[in-house]
Amino acid sequence: QVQLVESGGGSVQSGGSLRLSCAASGDANYRRCMGWFRQAPGKQREGVTFIGFDGRTTYANSVKGRFTITRDNDKTTLYLQMNSLTPEDTAMYYCVADSTFFGCDPGRAFRFWGPGTQVNVSL
């Protein structure tokens, strides 16, 4: 069992920054692959960024160059640094985790999800 709890969401103006955190607990074998999804009302769920067992990262084109995913060495905390935010970044952001060694990407079915944290970016 793995528990994920996000924090750090809030409201900012366009051009601002936020840093989201995800506190992870439980078996580390189920936290090899971690990342962030987001979903806005009426819009398709989007895989934002992911970090694999080997530390390699992937980013959606929509956030590349603006967002950075990192984690603690013990993999108990995941972070999402978001810079140059725009209203298009407004969404509920979800921390996710899975046991896979490879293929850590938004196409897979992640077993564990956090409850989400809301990010609102105004004009």
pLDDT in tens, 113-123: 999 999 999 99
* Interval 26-47: pLDDT, tens: 998 999 999 999 999 999 999 9
How far apart CA 123 and CA 109 sit, in angstroms, is 34
Instruction: Compute CA distances 61 → 64, 66, 75, whole Å.
Output: 5, 10, 25
- Across the range 100-105, mean pLDDT stands at 93
Q: Give bridge partners of residue 121 from the DSSP assignment.
A: 12
AA letter at 50: F
Residue type, 45: R
CB 18 within 8 A of CB 119: yes
Mean pLDDT of 41-70: 96
User: Which residue, among 41, 38, 39, has the nearest Cα to 49 in the 3D structure?
Assistant: 38
